[in-house]
Amino acid sequence: MIDRPRGTRDFTPEANEFRYAAELALREVMDVFNYHEIRTPTFEHLELFTRKSGADIVKQLYTFKDKGDRDLAMRPELTAASMRFYFSDLKMRPKPLKIFYMGNCFRYERPQEGRYREFWQFGAELIGATGPLGNAEIVALAYKSLLSMGLDEFSLRMGDLRLMNNVMAHIGISEELKAYIKPLIDKGNLEGLREKLLEENIDEEKMQLLFSVIATKMAVGPFMSYANDLKERLSDIEGCEQAIDDILQTCQYLKMQDADEITIDLGIARGLDYYVGMVFEVDVEALGAEKQVCGGGEYSLASVFDEKDEVGASGFAIGFDRVILALQKQGMEYLPTTIDVYYVPLSEEALYESLLQMDELRTEGISCDLDLQRRGMSKNLKYGNHSNPTFIVFIGEDELKKGIVNVKESSTREQTEVPIKEVVEWIIERCMCDDEDMDSEE
Ligand code: HAM
C-alpha cells in the first residue's frame, strides 16, 4: 500500500460535485464583475518567490532542481505568477485589467484540519486601478464571492498598511525590527509586541502611537466618528491623513455596493511581503484555528521583474478548501450522484438497441448508463440504483418483438410501455420538463 503524501487529499466524486458547484458560483460572480480567467504553471522559477520575500521563504516552499539544474518551486500562491504573466504578456492590454484564477498551491506547512500542503485558491487581481474605487471593487468582489458560495457567517476586516508602516518609520523602528514584529502584530500578540519594543528601548509615548493604530478595530459607523481623532493623533506623520481618508472613501463605495458590513482593523499586517496599502482578511470563527478563508489587498511586485513602471494592483485569494469546510460545518451536505436514465438490456439484441438509444440521449445532454459487467437482473438493478436514475428502461426479447420498451419512473415506481421508435423523444421531453421545474424552483 502506498499512502498519499502528508498534507494532501483525495476527493471522492461526491466531494468534487460539491466543490464544483461552489466553484461555479464563484465563476458567475467573476463573470458579472467582468473578470476573466488566466492559467499559469503549477511550478515556477524559485526566484519568483525569493526575490521579494528573501531566502527564508524557501522553508515554506516545495522546491526542486530539474534535470537542467534549474531551481524551481511549486507555486505557494498565484499573485506573483499573475504579475509575471502581466509584465511578460498582458501589460499592453487596456487597463484596468481584471483577471481571476483557480489553482492548486503548495506550502510546506504542518498539516491540520484546514491547513494542507496542497490546497486550492480562487483569486482575483485588479491591475491598474488602485485607490478607493479599485480597492472597494476588490473588497466587494471578495464579499460577494463568499456570499455566492452560500457562506452565512463570516467577518471581513479591512485596514491600510500605510498607517502601520508610516508610524513605525516615524518612531524609528528599523526594517529588521519591523520584520520581527510584523508576525506578532499579525497574530494579535500585543503583549509580545510590547515586550519586544521595550527590549529595543522604544519609549512608552512612541509605543502608544503605534498601539493607537494597530489596536483600532471597529465597525464602519464608529470608525467614521473616530477617524478625525486618529488623524489628529497622527497629524505629524506623513501619509497617515491620506490613508485614513482613503479608508473612509473606500467604505463609502462599499456601502453603495451593499458590502459595508465590515470591520476596520488597522492591525492587519498580512503574511506576505508585497502588500503596500489597503489590506483585508476574512474569518469564519466556526473553523477554529485555521479560520482565515480569504486575504488580500494592494501590492507592489514590479521590482521583482526589474520593471521601472510601477503598476498599482490589488487582489485577493479565497482559501477554497476552508470555505468548503465552513459550508459543511454550516450543514450543507453532499448531494447523491444522479443520472437520468439507466438501461437494463436483457439480450444481446436488446443491448444493441440500448447502446443506440443511449447515444442519441447522450448527444442531447441526457445522462445514461448500463451495467458494463452485464450482471443478472437483481445485481444489475442494485448497481444502477447507486446512481439514482430518474428512469429505468427495460428492454427484453419479448419487448423487442412487440416494438416496445418498459420505462419505469423511479420516484413513482410507475411503469409505462413506450413504442421503441418514440422512447428517445419520450425521455427527452420528460427530462427537459424536470430541468425547467428545477429552474423555476430555484
Ligand atoms: P494568503 O493569505 O497567503 O494570501 O492566502 C489566501 C488564503 O489561502 C488564506 O486566507 C487561506 O484561506 C488559504 N490558505 C493559505 N494557506 C493554506 C493552507 N496551507 N491550507 C489551506 N488553505 C490555505 C495569498 O496567497 C495572496 N496571494 C492573496 C492575494 C491575491 N493578495 C493579493 N492578491
- Separation of alpha carbons 319 and 328, rounded Å: 15
Of 278, 298, 329, the position where a domain reaches its end is 329
Same domain for 412 and 272? no
Q: Longest Cα pair distance anywhere in the chain, in angstroms?
A: 98
Q: Is 296 in the pocket of ligand 1 (CB under 6 A)?
A: yes
Give the C-alpha separation, 115 to 306, whole Å.
34
Residue 295 near ligand 1, beta carbon < 6 Å: yes
Asked if residue 8 is part of any domain, the answer here is no
Q: How far apart are the first and last CA of the chain?
A: 45
Q: Is the CB of 107 under 6 A from ligand 1?
A: yes
CATH number for the domain spanning 397: value is 3.40.50.800
The response to whether residue 322 sits with its C-beta less than 6 Å from ligand 1 reads yes
Q: Whose CA is nearest to atom 30 of ligand 1?
A: 316
- Which structural domain range is residue 385 located in? 339-441
User: The pTM is what?
Assistant: 0.93
Answer whether 299 contacts ligand 1 (Cβ < 6 A).
yes
Domain presence at residue 392 = yes
Q: What is the pLDDT of residue 51?
A: 87
Regarding the beta carbon of 293 and ligand 1, being less than 6 Å apart is answered yes
Displacement of CA 403 from its chain's centroid (Å) = 53
Name the residue with the closest Cα to ligand 1, atom 8. 319
Looking up residue 308, the CATH number of its domain turns out to be: 3.30.930.10
76 Cβ inside 6 Å of ligand 1? no
Residues 386 and 337: their CA atoms lie apart, in Å, by 8
Q: Do 222 and 174 lie in a common domain?
A: yes
Query: Would 4 be classed as within a structural domain?
Result: no
Answer yes or no: do 292 and 371 share one domain: no
Same domain membership, residue 112 and residue 41: yes
86 in any annotated domain:
yes
Radius of gyration over every alpha carbon of the chain, rounded to an integer in angstroms: 28
Query: Which residue has the CA at smallest separation from atom 31 of ligand 1?
Result: 296
- Whether 1 is in a domain gets the answer no
Structural element, H or E, at residue 229:
helix 220-233
Ligand 1 atom nearest the C-alpha of 123 is: 30
Q: Mark whether 309 and 349 lie in a shared domain.
A: no
* Ligand 1 pocket check for 321: Cβ under 6 Å: yes
Residue 77 alpha carbon to ligand 1 centre in Å: 7
pLDDT at residue 441, rounded to an integer: 59
Ligand 1 in contact with 371 (CB < 6 A)?
no
Same domain, 66 and 150: yes
Let me know if residue 104 belongs to a domain: yes
Name the residue at shortest CA distance from atom 7 of ligand 1.
319
| Distance (Å) from CA 76 to ligand 1 centroid | 9
Pocket of ligand 1, candidates 38, 292, 298: which has the most ligand atoms within 8 Å of its Cβ, to mutate?
A: 292
Same domain, 252 and 369: no
**Ligand 1 in reach of 52 Cβ (< 6 A):** no
Q: Is residue 274 part of a domain?
A: yes
Dist. CA 331 → ligand 1 center (Å): 24
Which amino acid residue places its CA nearest to atom 10 of ligand 1? Answer: 294
198 with 347, same domain: the answer is no
Average pLDDT, the chain: 94
Closest residue by Cα to atom 2, ligand 1, is 295
The helix (run of H) or strand (run of E) holding residue 227 is: helix 220-233
Q: Pocket of ligand 1, candidates 30, 59, 74, 77: which has the most ligand atoms within 8 Å of its Cβ, to mutate?
A: 77
Q: Please tell me the total count of domains within the chain.
A: 2
All residue ranges of the chain with pLDDT < 50 are: none
Q: Which of 297, 329, 361 is the last residue of a domain?
A: 329
- Residues 313 and 419 reside in one and the same domain: no
* 352 Cβ neighbours under 8 A, 6+ residues apart: none
- Residues 354, 315 share a domain: no
Q: In this structure, are 96 and 163 located in the same domain?
A: yes
- Among 329, 355, 387, where does a domain finish? 329
CB 287 within 8 A of CB 269: no
Q: Which residues pair with 159 in a beta bridge?
A: 279
Q: How far is the CA of 123 from the centre of ligand 1 (A)?
A: 9
Q: Verify that 251 and 123 share a domain, yes or no.
A: yes
In the numeric block, which cell numbers belong to residue 375?
450482471
Domain-located, residue 381: yes
